[in-house]
Each structure stands twice: as structure tokens, then as C-alpha cells.
Amino acid sequence: MKTPFNLATVTLSLLLASGTCLAAKVDARRLAAVETNAADAGNWLSHGRTYGEQRYSPLDKINDHNVDKLGLAWQFKYDLDRVVEATPLVVDGVLYTTGAYSMVYALDATNGKLLWKYDPKVWRGIQGTGCCDAANRGVAYWNGKVYVGVYDGRLEALDAKTGKKAWSVDTVIDHDRNYTISGAPRVVKGKVIIGNGGAEFGVRGYVTAYDAETGKQAWRFFTVPGDPAKGDESDTIAMIRKTWFGDQYWVQGGGGTAWNAFSYDPELDLLYIGVGNGSYWNYRMRSEGKGDNLFLSSIVAVKPDTGKYVWHYQTTPGDAWDYTATQDIIVATLPIDGKPRKVVMQAPKNGFFYVLDAATGQFISAEKFGSIVTWAKGIDKATGRPIFDPEAADYWTKNEPKLVFPGSQGAHNWHPMSFSPKTGLVYIPQHVSAEHFNPNIERRAPSKGTPNLGVQIPIVPEDKAGLDELAKLFTGKLQAWDPVQQKEIWSVPYPMMSNGGTLATAGNLVFQGTTHGQVRAYAADTGKQLWATDVSSGVVAGPISYSVKGEQYVAFNVGWGGAFPITFGAVAERARVVPDSRLYVFKLDGKTPMPPVRRRDMTPPKPPEMTAGNDAVQAGSKLFGSHCAACHGLSAISANIIPDLRYLNQDKHVQFQDIVRGSHSHLGMPPFGGKLSLEDVENIRAYLVKRAHDLKAELLGQ
């Protein structure tokens, strides 16, 4: 379809271009009508474009016949070459996006000119208190304000014209715990909805709604029960407490953080919340290995005015594998048994694709979309419950380590999927991942800045042959899934996991970026690759399409990072991409030159002599695994987004004790002062010297 000429939009764009911009009014009616309102066809007003988060653009000027003519319209370089997970918004010619550490940017959507930026000044040393990198997945827009969830737990409202702060609230209920925000807020009926992350460290999950104009708290919905001595906050909490056992879950926090997925159906007036994994991961430590542990790994529907519970569906009862249901939730109308039915769809980490009734949560169907899924044999069609395979996945009853598929990265993570009403297909950025769950570890109290999983942090092989085997496990694919027939229609294999989110368009196209530094377009009906362009960094974010003055654009946020590349550097470094964070915007016949494409060059490191003994190296290896690996990579193999410590130079070796104690916290290195003795730190350094010699020998072929 053609975007109709819209005088108001053009006038607004001219005003913006002249610098006297007006903030457009985006309200409940406009957001609810995005799917049918032709005037908004060129806009991307909320995180998943529509409240149902289909990530489908009705624009078709760029289509399967001409997509090979895409060229760069403009590009924008971020201040920091760190992870970019944001889905940009486009509101009447202005593009709003975020970079690492929750920095917000407003750009002219036609040429990338910076209109304003906002830095919430997150303390860089905070890094160690959160899982999964300094990520932010974007802003919300409502009635002339832009909303950002800040990494340290603030929720802030900015004037959309100027970027000036209108209000700021602290969403964190306990600063002794590791609450963070990486997700994009959503605004529903004048309320800003936000959840937190932190389940790997021991927190209690909740979702909070704030008045969009004032920041006043409207309601809070806890996803798991808290300290029983303090009483249940509601009948819902009393109900879910019956599914938990022992006295440890609330001490640890229980988990259930809602750090990513929210969608809304205006007709049913239901807000859908995607709830995260258990804390501890270890089910025996958390709940004596008993009970469903609601609302872990569930989709929960609540009323957006009050936060009152309506229904839930639990994808993984008694989660023990970090199987969050925080993956995006798509609302759509599908032909079920020959009749149109409004459903919610999710492809959570656990590897099954779910279709549920949107009004009631009733189970409709679920099948394995994951290429390797071992924890359950299927989903019982009568009960909607998984057919668990204890042989494959129960590591807690007998304290037996198990290799389970998917691993904690899931068969799909937050990288958003899309749905095309035209093809009826869902486009899933699938992962293949595995995890060695080893429960042989002592219980300990949660402490700020250290993950507390109740399983051992895995050690990856340190030799090349072992790593080659490991890399074979962590693959991916773009998968076109028919949600009615519950089967794959086509797929495109990728050599590595953690490829970017997807966008479907009316031009019969699917767009996706890759871990190996490419942005691509495929035919939505057949999967044929129609266009690709190299970029320097890996892509994790979901692309968008928008139009201004009749010109259609496709925008890719590019910036490698997130849990997989920083923790699993041993695999991710093989992508050979470099840190280079940019927003690339393409249009037909775009003539702007692409920035030069770079790839990581592995030259042998020049480490100091090995002087420490084997005991020191072994002790250092263990300490590195529990304190350093989450950012600098398991077995000290880094994809070099956060420095690869095998390449530490002589000066850094001399300063090593000071760096670990906080001298580089302004650059993002958290202070570990109280936790590690002088000897501990020296042992970690000895381990790094050993790993540098290993790499040098490997690269020199010795």
C-alpha cells in the first residue's frame, strides 16, 4: 500500500527541520488504532510497533522485487562501542533510540541529524551487579514524552522536544539486591509499565505501573511470593504461595523478573506480562524440588488500570534451567479449527512454540520449534503441561550434572520475533544452546555483584579441539513458523547463535542482522535471500521500517553484545566482528557510502613470563570463573567487547591489583575490593598469564 499524503506529518517534519519542533500527541486512541490507521503506517509508535507487538510494517515501497537496490541513507555512530539492543521508535519524522548504559538519542529520521541526546549517567562500575551487559532495549513514547528504563533501576520521563528530564522515579525495592532495567517501557492507558532484571543474583520479580504525566506509582504486581512473615500482598500472592516449598525461595528472592516482554490487547483490555526464571536456578535449593513455583516462566494477564490478575499460563513448571518466558508475546487473530480466534503466541527459551487463547489463557497448541530440545518430550495436549524427561534434565534429585538442551541462552531469547498477517508466519531468530548444569555447590546467601545460581558456573574447554566441539553446539537459524499448523515452513541456518531480531513487512520481506556482521533481507514466503550488506559489528537488535514524506526506510541497530558474546566469548569470538556501534538506515537507491568494514585481527599476545605454580593457576581459574567470566568470557576467552584479558599489556599487569580494586570503575570495571584478597587477585593474574601463553602457542601453531 501507498502511504497517503499527510499534511500534518509534512508540516510537522518541516517544523522539525527548522528546529522549532512540536511534540506529536500519541495517546491511547492513536496507539490502539495503529494497525488500522493509515496515517500511522509510516510510524513505529511503540516497542513492537503495535500493542500486539507483531513487528509487522504495512509499508511495501521496498519489496521483494526491488530490495536489492537498498543503499545507505544515513548512519549514526553511538558514543560507546557497546551493545545496542534497542528497537527505535519513529514518531512523525523523529527517531528515538538508545545505546549502552541507557543513553537516549533523538534523530531526524530522514538524515540522522542529532536533535538531542540524554545521558542518565549510569555509574560505569555498576556492570558487575547486572546480568548480560550494559544493554537497553529502547524507549516508549506518549503524549509528548519519551520514557527510558535506566540500568540502575530508575525510570525517567523526558520532554520529547528537548530531551529535558520531566520526572525520574526509583523502581528498585531493595538496593542491597541486584535490580537492573534493560527492557523498554510500554505505555498503556496513561500508565508506564516497567519490570526489572536480576534473577541470576537473587531478587524477587515485580512489575510496576506509573502515571505517565507525573511518575506517581499506580500499582505493583509481584510475580512470586515474598517473606511469609510480612504477609501476602494480595489473594493472588496467597494463591501462588501454595506452589512453593521450603523457606529458602523468599530468602533468595525466588526470581520471576519481568525484564522484557509486555504486550496489550485494547479490545480485551488485558496486559500480558512475560515472567522470568527461578532464583536459584537449582530447583532443590529453591523449592525442595517441589511445586510449580508460580508465576515463574509464565505469561500472566492483568488489568492495566489496576494490575489485577486475570489469568496465567506457565510454560515451564518448576523451572530449573533459566527457561524464562520473557520472550516477546505477539497478539494476533489466527484461524483455529476454521474459526478466527484471538491468540497470544510466544517462543520462550524452553524451545516450545505456544498458542494460547488471548481472553482466557486457555492452551490451544504447542510444538517444539527448537532444533534440539531435551528437557521435555512434548506438551500434553489435554493438560497443556510439559512431558518432562527426568533422565535428560533432572540434575537436582541425585545431584548429577546434566548437559541439557536448550541451555540458559534458550532456543530463543529476547531478540524479537515478528509475525506477518500476510503470510501467516512467525519469523523466529532461533538459537541452539546447551548448558552443563552441575549442582555440586554449597548454598550461600545472595551477595551484591556475584551471580548465585545454585549450580556451578560452567568452565568451557581451554583447548582448540574442545572448543571446536563446543562451537558446533551453539548454532542458530532464522525460522519461518506456521503457528496454526505448528510447524516450520522454511529456515536459514546460521553457523552461530544470537542473531538479531526480525522485522516482517508488507513487501513480502523479512529483515534480520547476523552475529557475523551482516544485515539481510529474505523473501517472507520462501526464505530466499534477496539482499545483504556487511557491517563491522554483530547485530542483536530487531530492525524497523518507517516512512517520512513517502520515502520508506529500514533501520538496523548494530552493536555486538549481550549475554552470549560477553559470557560465551569462547564461541562468540569466532564471529571476528569488532566493537563498532551504529544505527544504519537504508532506502532504495541510497547513495551514502558505508563506513569501512572491519574484522577482528588476532595477533599473538605478548604475555609476561610464567612464574606462578600450577596451584596458583588452578585457584585463579576458579576465582576467574565466579567473579570475572560473566563479562570477560568463560575460560578467559573474550569476544573483545569487554577487554580480552589474554592481551593485557605490561602496564596493566603492573596495575592489576588496583584495577580489580576499582581504579578503572569509570570505564566499566566494577570494584571487587572487599571480596578478593591480594593473593586471590594475584592468582587470577597468574591464570591470565597462563591463558595468554595458551593463546600465543595456538596462534603460532606450537
Q: Which residue ranges make up the site for Ca ion (CB under 5 A)?
A: 277, 322
Q: Out of 64, 152, 265, 322, which one is annotated catalytic?
A: 322
Residue number, 3 or 223, with CB nearest to Ca ion: 223
Question: Minimum distance between the CB of residue 68 and Ca ion, rounded to whole angstroms?
Answer: 40
Terminal Cα distance for the chain, rounded: 61
Residue number, 540 or 616, with CB nearest to Ca ion: 540
Q: How many residues does the chain have?
A: 702
Spatial neighbors of 83 by CB under 8 A, at least 6 apart, are 100, 133, 134, 135, 540, 559, 560, 561, 562, 581, 641
Residue number, 277 or 371, with CB nearest to Ca ion: 277
Question: Minimum distance between the CB of residue 205 and Ca ion, rounded to whole angstroms?
Answer: 11
Question: Minimum distance between the CB of residue 314 and Ca ion, rounded to whole angstroms?
Answer: 16
**What whole-number distance in Å separates Cα of residue 57 and Cα of residue 52?**
13
Question: Minimum distance between the CB of residue 154 and Ca ion, rounded to whole angstroms?
Answer: 22
Residue number, 53 or 322, with CB nearest to Ca ion: 322
Residue number, 320 or 617, with CB nearest to Ca ion: 320
**What whole-number distance in Å separates Cα of residue 408 and Cα of residue 393?**
13
Residue number, 314 or 547, with CB nearest to Ca ion: 314
Residue number, 297 or 536, with CB nearest to Ca ion: 297
Residue 408 CB coordination number (10 Å): 26
For residue 545, CA distances in Å to 30, 267, 524, 534 come to: 19, 26, 15, 19
Question: Rg of the Cα trace of the chain?
Answer: 24
Question: Minimum distance between the CB of residue 324 and Ca ion, rounded to whole angstroms?
Answer: 5
Question: Minimum distance between the CB of residue 356 and Ca ion, rounded to whole angstroms?
Answer: 22
Rounded to 5 degrees, what are φ and ψ at 222? -80, 140
Question: Minimum distance between the CB of residue 326 and Ca ion, rounded to whole angstroms?
Answer: 8
**What whole-number distance in Å separates Cα of residue 296 and Cα of residue 272?**
14
- Would you list the DSSP string of 350-416? TSEEEEEETTT--EEEEEE-SSS--SEEEE-TTT--EEE-HHHH--TTTT--EEESS-TT-SS-SS-
Task: Give the H or E element holding residue 482.
Answer: strand 476-482
Are the CB atoms for 546 and 555 separated by under 8 Å? Answer: yes
Question: Minimum distance between the CB of residue 149 and Ca ion, rounded to whole angstroms?
Answer: 17
Spatial neighbors of 250 by CB under 8 A, at least 6 apart, are 204, 225, 226, 227, 228
Spatial neighbors of 122 by CB under 8 A, at least 6 apart, are 101, 102, 134, 150, 151, 152
Residue 109 burial (10 A CB sphere; 0-12, 13-18, 19+): buried
- Would you list the DSSP string of 224-292? S---GGG--SSHHHHHHHTT--SSSHHHH-EE----S-EEEETTTTEEEEE---EESS-HHHHHTT-S-
Residue number, 322 or 682, with CB nearest to Ca ion: 322
For residue 631, CA distances in Å to 109, 567, 639, 644 come to: 34, 6, 10, 10
Question: Minimum distance between the CB of residue 201 and Ca ion, rounded to whole angstroms?
Answer: 10
Task: Give the H or E element holding residue 30.
Answer: helix 28-32
Residue number, 182 or 418, with CB nearest to Ca ion: 182
Nearest to 273 by CA among 218, 318, 232, 310: 310
Q: Which three cell numbers stand for residue 151?
A: 540500568
Residue number, 97 or 277, with CB nearest to Ca ion: 277
Question: Minimum distance between the CB of residue 257 and Ca ion, rounded to whole angstroms?
Answer: 8
Residue 660: DSSP 8-state: I
- Would you list the DSSP string of 546-568? EEETTEEEEEEEE---SHHHHH-
In the residue annotation, 322 being an active-site residue is answered as: yes
Residue number, 322 or 525, with CB nearest to Ca ion: 322
Residue 251 burial (10 A CB sphere; 0-12, 13-18, 19+): middle
Q: Is the peptide bond before 56 cis (omega within 30 degrees of 0)?
A: no
Question: Minimum distance between the CB of residue 276 and Ca ion, rounded to whole angstroms?
Answer: 6
Nearest to 662 by CA among 53, 125, 68: 125
Are the CB atoms for 483 and 355 separated by under 8 Å? Answer: yes
Nearest to 47 by CA among 586, 548, 544: 544
Residue number, 98 or 279, with CB nearest to Ca ion: 279
Collapsed DSSP state (helix, strand, coil) of residue 149: strand
Question: Minimum distance between the CB of residue 278 and Ca ion, rounded to whole angstroms?
Answer: 9
Active site residues: 322
